[in-house]
């Protein structure tokens, strides 16, 4: 044939599918329908109607989730963050040898698979600089090597405290790279925070219909009278609320509608109440310092937003909620036994470091090593703290405890991570001079999260729980992933 540009052979064997017979196409559709119907009937007879419907729904939503994940990496990242943020126990696959696969780990595996496929298929490159990435990798491998040398039973806490948060940093740095996606992530965080706040207040006043999951109500063996949230741990719950409190300030500042602005101010007041009802002094300190840090980094924008709250919250707390007569708070503040046991634990950690300065006693070996340090501790103002008062204590901080377990080498790597984050924070802070909205609106919130994490770590060890470190390192990922020179600078 002339004018087609093809030979007879090409036309004979490479027919355009659009010119195929409608009869053949219709026959194929009918055949596929018959095969699907037959398979569905076989599965229905074998599993029963209920399981068949569940399986069918699972296939449908799983396929839909897979399709959306490959279209937009923000979706699997956000779903994974929600799972880490308190809902990891909704799905669990028990394994006899490997660590149990909870929902957050399953979603992490999926996110990693989708991420690598998209990056390879689209020819993307990982986002630099890589100095912090390298230090984090060295520190993670250092801890992992010590686990396998000493006791592999602590692999699970390592995944919670290191693998998942470092993964959060990596994905955030390479996915959330512009202001629109940062805003979207903060929307997810504020929704999650509002859930925490409502849950904390509902626990205090025993409003059962507002509490979910219901296991929060029935499993309060060690924290009776204190709000524990989905994490079932009052100090952790309070520290997370405290770290996230500055997020309210971003939405208060950005709201143009007065009604929406008042809503977010009331939500922040609810956050102060939820933080208070955890009755944890370290968490209170974390929340206060997070607010102060965000205000210092943007006093003209954020400090004036919280002045009405600083006036309103004490009046409401004392006048309407009657917190002045809160006997449980008085007991918590006047409890010197807790303070004495913390001091004794810190003194024991320093003694361990003195005896093992270079590499410490070993990752998660504090409990085994403390039996060699049974001396009482003399503390001015507290008197003598005997070993029986802190004999069963775990590490209660992220500084002295890891120093005793990892020694100077581990402390140096951990300090380098914090130093690099702080240095980048002040480097990006200079973007304010160019009118970059990231430095004006987002960076103070990140500063508040960092400072809340560092101060909260004075009173609680985060290693048994993933979300505090995940929130911290996701903020670091945002900080390192954003490049002002790639965006338009709109004052």
DSSP class per residue in 55-67: HHHHHHHHHHHHH
Backbone angles phi, psi at 478, to 5 degrees: -60, -45
Same domain, 426 and 487: yes
C-alpha to C-alpha distance for 89 and 31, rounded to whole angstroms: 43
In the DSSP assignment, the letter for residue 489 is: -
Q: Which of 10-24, 68-82, 176-190, 358-372 has the lowest mean pLDDT?
A: 10-24
Among residues 334, 333, 348, the alpha carbon closest in space to that of 379 is found at 348
Across residues 26-34, what is the average pLDDT? 67
Q: Tell me the Ramachandran region of residue 3: left when phi exceeds 0, alpha when psi lies from -120 to 50, beta otherwise.
A: left
Is residue 391, in this structure, part of any structural domain at all? yes
pLDDT of residue 315: 62
Provide the β-strand partners of residue 101: 93
pLDDT-based confidence at residue 288 (cuts at 50, 70, 90) = very high
C-alpha to C-alpha distance for 364 and 366, rounded to whole angstroms: 6
Same domain, 145 and 276: no
Place of tokens 């929704």: 191
C-alpha to C-alpha distance for 470 and 167, rounded to whole angstroms: 8
pLDDT of residue 9: 42
Strand, coil or helix: what is 458? coil
Domain final residue, candidates 118, 142, 160:
118
Strand, coil or helix: what is 280? coil
Q: Which of 5-14, 232-241, 280-289 has the lowest mean pLDDT?
A: 5-14
pLDDT of residue 3: 46
Q: Which of the pair, 473 or 304, is modelled with greater confidence?
A: 473
Same domain, 225 and 347: no
Domain final residue, candidates 320, 354, 374:
320
Domain final residue, candidates 260, 286, 320:
320
pLDDT-based confidence at residue 143 (cuts at 50, 70, 90) = very high
C-alpha to C-alpha distance for 155 and 160, rounded to whole angstroms: 9
pLDDT tens column, 237-278: 999 999 999 999 999 999 989 999 989 988 998 999 899 999
Same domain, 74 and 109: yes
For helices 234-244 and 258-276, give the axis angle rounded to 10 degrees: 150
pLDDT tens column, 191-204: 999 999 999 999 98
Helices (H), 277-324: 281-297, 304-319
Place of tokens 């596929």: 32
Same domain, 297 and 249: yes
pLDDT tens column, 308-363: 766 666 666 555 555 555 666 666 555 555 667 778 888 888 999 999 999 999 88
Same domain, 402 and 457: yes
Is residue 127, in this structure, part of any structural domain at all? no
Instruction: Please report how many Cα atoms fall inside a 13 Å half-sphere around the Cα of residue 432, on the Cβ side.
Output: 16
Is residue 13, in this structure, part of any structural domain at all? no
pLDDT of residue 485: 55
Q: Which of 4-18, 100-114, 230-244, 397-411 has the lowest mean pLDDT?
A: 4-18
Domain that residue 149 falls in = 132-175+335-491
Is residue 75, in this structure, part of any structural domain at all? yes
Q: Is the peptide bond before 213 cis (omega within 30 degrees of 0)?
A: yes
Give the N- to C-terminal CA distance of the chain in Å, as an integer: 63
pLDDT of residue 329: 63
Same domain, 159 and 171: yes
Same domain, 103 and 31: yes
Cβ(104)–Cβ(466) below 8 Å: yes
- The count of other CB atoms within 10 Å of the CB of residue 2 is 4
Across residues 91-113, what is the average pLDDT? 76
- The count of other CB atoms within 10 Å of the CB of residue 211 is 19
pLDDT-based confidence at residue 389 (cuts at 50, 70, 90) = low
Among residues 453, 458, 459, the alpha carbon closest in space to that of 332 is found at 459
Same domain, 364 and 310: no
Cβ(242)–Cβ(287) below 8 Å: yes
C-alpha to C-alpha distance for 293 and 286, rounded to whole angstroms: 10
Q: CA torsion 302→229→79→94, rounded to 10°?
A: 150
Is residue 4, in this structure, part of any structural domain at all? no
Mean pLDDT of all residues belonging to the chain: 82
Across residues 414-418, what is the average pLDDT? 97
pLDDT of residue 434: 83
- The count of other CB atoms within 10 Å of the CB of residue 176 is 23
Question: Tokens for 66?
Answer: 């897979």
Q: Which of 161-175, 232-246, 376-390, 400-414 has the lowest mean pLDDT?
A: 376-390
Provide the β-strand partners of residue 434: none
C-alpha to C-alpha distance for 254 and 235, rounded to whole angstroms: 31
C-alpha to C-alpha distance for 28 and 127, rounded to whole angstroms: 47
Same domain, 101 and 148: no
Same domain, 354 and 468: yes
Percent of the chain with pLDDT over 70: 75
Domain count, the chain: 3
Residues near 283 by Cβ (< 8 Å), separated by ≥ 6?
A: 235, 237, 238, 239, 241, 242, 275, 456, 459, 460
Same domain, 301 and 201: yes
Question: Tokens for 480?
Answer: 């390192």
pLDDT of residue 47: 62
Is residue 440, in this structure, part of any structural domain at all? yes
Q: Which of the pair, 456 or 323, is modelled with greater confidence?
A: 456
Question: Tokens for 19?
Answer: 């010119």
Is residue 399, in this structure, part of any structural domain at all? yes
C-alpha to C-alpha distance for 419 and 22, rounded to whole angstroms: 68
Is residue 444, in this structure, part of any structural domain at all? yes
């Amino acid at each position: 044939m002339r004018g087609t540009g093809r030979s007879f052979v090409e036309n004979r064997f490479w027919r355009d599918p659009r010119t195929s017979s409608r009869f053949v196409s219709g026959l194929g559709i009918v055949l596929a329908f018959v095969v699907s119907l037959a398979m569905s009937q076989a599965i229905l007879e074998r599993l029963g109607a209920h399981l068949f419907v569940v399986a069918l729904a699972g296939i449908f939503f799983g396929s839909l989730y897979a399709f959306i994940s490959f279209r937009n990496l923000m979706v699997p990242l956000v779903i994974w963050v929600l799972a880490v943020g308190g809902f990891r126990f909704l799905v669990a696959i028990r394994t006899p040898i490997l660590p149990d696969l909870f929902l957050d780990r399953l979603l992490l595996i999926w996110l990693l698979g989708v991420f690598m496929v998209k990056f390879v298929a689209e020819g993307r490159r990982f986002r630099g600089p890589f100095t912090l990435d390298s230090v984090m990798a060295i520190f993670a491998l250092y801890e992992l090597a010590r686990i396998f040398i000493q006791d592999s039973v602590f692999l699970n806490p390592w995944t919670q405290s290191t693998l998942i948060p470092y993964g959060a940093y990596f994905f955030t740095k390479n996915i959330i790279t512009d202001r629109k996606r940062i805003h979207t992530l903060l929307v997810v965080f504020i929704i999650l925070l509002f859930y925490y706040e409502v849950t904390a207040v509902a626990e205090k006043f025993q409003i059962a219909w507002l509490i979910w999951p219901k296991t929060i109500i029935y499993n309060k063996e060690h924290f009776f009278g204190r709000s524990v949230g989905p994490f079932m741990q009052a100090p952790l719950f309070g520290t997370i609320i405290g770290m996230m409190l500055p997020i309210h300030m971003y939405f208060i500042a950005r709201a143009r509608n007065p009604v929406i602005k008042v809503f977010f101010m009331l939500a922040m007041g609810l956050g102060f109440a939820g933080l208070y009802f955890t009755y944890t002094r370290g968490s209170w300190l974390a929340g206060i310092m997070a607010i102060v840090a965000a205000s210092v980094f943007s006093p003209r924008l954020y400090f004036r937003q919280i002045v009405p709250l600083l006036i309103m919250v004490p009046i409401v707390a004392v006048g309407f909620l009657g917190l002045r007569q809160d006997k449980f708070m008085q007991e918590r503040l006047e409890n010197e036994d807790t303070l004495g046991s913390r001091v004794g634990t810190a003194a024991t950690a320093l003694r361990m470091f003195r005896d093992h300065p270079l590499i410490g006693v070993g990752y998660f070996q504090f409990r085994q090593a403390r039996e060699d340090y049974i001396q009482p501790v003399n503390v001015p103002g507290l008197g003598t703290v005997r070993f029986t008062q802190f004999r069963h204590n775990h590490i209660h901080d992220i500084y002295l405890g890891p120093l005793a377990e990892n020694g100077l080498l581990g402390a140096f790597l951990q300090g380098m991570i914090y130093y690099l984050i702080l240095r980048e924070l002040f480097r990006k802070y200079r973007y304010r001079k160019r009118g970059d909205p990231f430095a004006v609106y987002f960076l103070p919130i990140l500063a508040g999260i960092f400072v809340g994490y560092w101060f909260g770590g004075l009173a609680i060890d985060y290693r048994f729980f993933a979300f505090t470190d995940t929130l911290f390192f996701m903020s670091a990922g945002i900080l390192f992933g954003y490049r002002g020179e790639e965006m338009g600078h709109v004052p």
